[in-house]
C-alpha cells in the first residue's frame, strides 16, 4: 500500500519538473504567469486574463497536453500560489492590506493541507476568498471604492458565499459528474466530445 501511495505521489509531483513538460505545458504556464504579472500594471485587465486562463488551462493541460487530473491540480494550485503572491503585492498599498494578508494566509494554510492530505476537497474548508476579495476591493476599486468602504463585511460575506459555491462545484460536484460519465459514457458525453473534450484525465 505504501509503495502504491509513494508511486502516486511521485507521479503527481513529476509535473512540477519543467524537464518533463511538452510545448503545450510550457505555453500554458507562460500564459498563466504572464496574465498574473500583468496585474501589477493593469489590475482589472490582469485579473480578467488570469480568471480566463485559470478556467481554460484545464482544457489545454488535460485535453491537449495529456496530463492526468491529479497532475493538473498539482500544477494548477502551484500556479495559483504565484498568482496570489502577485495579487498580494499589488494590493499591499491599498486600504485593504490587512484583510488581504489574512485571506492570503488562510488560503496558504489550505494549500499546505491540500499537499499534506492529497485531497482537493480540503478547499471546501479553505475557499479562495482572497482572489475574489482582491478582484472586488482592488481591481474594481475605480468604480466601487465608495460602495466597498461602506459595505465591507456585507460584500465579504457575499464573496465568501460565491466562492464556496464555486469550490463545491469544482471539487465535489464536477468530480462526481466525471465518475458518472466514465461509467455511463466511457468518457465525456457526446455533446462535450463534440466540443473537443476527450480525456477524462482520471
Stronger pLDDT, 123 or 171, i.e. the higher one: 123
Q: Which of 9-18, 88-97, 167-176 has the lowest mean pLDDT?
A: 167-176
Q: 3-state class of 82 per DSSP?
A: helix
Domain residue ranges of the chain, discontinuous segments joined by +: 2-194
Per-range mean pLDDT, top range of 82-91, 117-126, 138-147, 176-185: 82-91
190 to 5, 27, 177, 195: CA distances (angstroms): 34, 28, 14, 9
Contact 199, 66 (CB under 8 A): yes
Cα of 80 vs its chain's centroid, Å: 5
User: Could you read off the pLDDT of 58-104 as tens digits, one per residue?
Assistant: 999 998 998 988 899 899 999 999 999 999 999 998 999 999 999 99
Please give the DSSP secondary-structure letter assigned to residue 21. Answer: -
Kindly state the average pLDDT of the residues 115-126. Answer: 83
User: Could you read off the pLDDT of 134-163 as tens digits, one per residue?
Assistant: 998 898 888 877 877 778 888 889 888 888
Amino acid at each position: 500500500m505504501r509503495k502504491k501511495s509513494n508511486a502516486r505521489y511521485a507521479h503527481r509531483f513529476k509535473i512540477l519538473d519543467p524537464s518533463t513538460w511538452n510545448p503545450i505545458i510550457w505555453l500554458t504556464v507562460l500564459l498563466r504567469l504572464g496574465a498574473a504579472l500583468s496585474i501589477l500594471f493593469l489590475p482589472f485587465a490582469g485579473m480578467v486574463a488570469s480568471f480566463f486562463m485559470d478556467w481554460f488551462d484545464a482544457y489545454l493541460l488535460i485535453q491537449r497536453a495529456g496530463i492526468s487530473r491529479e497532475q493538473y491540480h498539482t500544477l494548477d494550485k502551484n500556479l495559483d500560489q504565484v498568482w496570489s503572491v502577485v495579487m498580494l503585492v499589488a494590493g499591499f498599498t491599498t486600504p485593504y492590506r490587512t484583510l488581504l494578508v489574512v485571506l492570503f494566509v488562510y488560503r496558504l494554510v489550505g494549500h499546505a493541507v491540500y499537499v499534506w492530505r492529497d485531497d482537493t476537497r480540503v478547499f471546501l474548508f479553505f475557499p479562495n476568498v482572497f482572489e475574489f476579495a482582491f478582484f472586488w476591493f482592488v481591481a474594481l476599486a475605480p468604480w466601487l471604492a465608495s460602495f466597498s468602504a461602506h459595505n465591507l463585511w456585507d460584500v465579504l460575506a457575499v464573496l465568501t458565499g460565491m466562492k464556496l459555491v464555486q469550490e463545491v462545484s469544482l471539487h465535489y460536484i464536477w468530480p462526481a459528474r466525471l465518475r458518472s460519465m466514465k461509467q455511463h459514457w466511457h468518457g465525456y458525453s457526446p455533446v462535450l466530445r463534440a466540443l473537443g473534450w476527450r480525456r477524462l484525465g482520471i
